[in-house]
Amino acid sequence: MENRLSVRTYCISMLSIIANVYLWLRVIFIEWSETELEVIVNFSILLTPPVVLAIIALYLKRAWIMYVAFITSLPIGLYLLANEGTWQLFGSLEILLLISAILMTKDIVNKNKTKTYA
């Protein structure tokens, strides 16, 4: 009774998670300066929970957790889209979370249809 995700869904989900972690580490280690410490800490606190939720959703293969990850990241993602530089990439990566959630839902629904008619 295991939900299996398609390779496409798994790859897009992993891309979203890895890209978010990469950008977060890039901002911390490359673009960090003493005057921005408070900003880095605040954004780290805001950006970490959605990524953790996305990892949990992918591991448990639960689309609703991926939707929660998207919804929790949406306000900060929209705010970051309005800024310049690397911060805009964080906002655009939130779209990958939504695509992952939609594809996970589609995979689960297709599996249930196949199981029902088989």
**Each residue of 30-76: pLDDT tens digit?**
766 655 778 778 878 888 899 899 999 989 989 999 999 999 988 88
Report the domain count for the chain.
1
Is 13 part of a structural domain of the chain? yes
Percent of the chain at pLDDT > 70 equals 90
Question: Model's pTM, two decimal places?
Answer: 0.81
Is 111 part of a structural domain of the chain? yes
Most confident of 26-35, 43-52, 96-105, 106-115: 96-105
Is 43 part of a structural domain of the chain? yes
Is 2 part of a structural domain of the chain? no
Is 46 part of a structural domain of the chain? yes
More confident residue, 77 or 27: 77
To 10 degrees, the CA torsion angle through 95, 100, 105, 107?
A: 140
pLDDT at 1: 46
Is 99 part of a structural domain of the chain? yes
pLDDT at 64: 93
Is 26 part of a structural domain of the chain? yes
pLDDT at 113: 75
Is 66 part of a structural domain of the chain? yes
Q: Which domain holds residue 13?
A: 7-117
C-alpha torsion sign, points 2, 97, 50, 19: positive
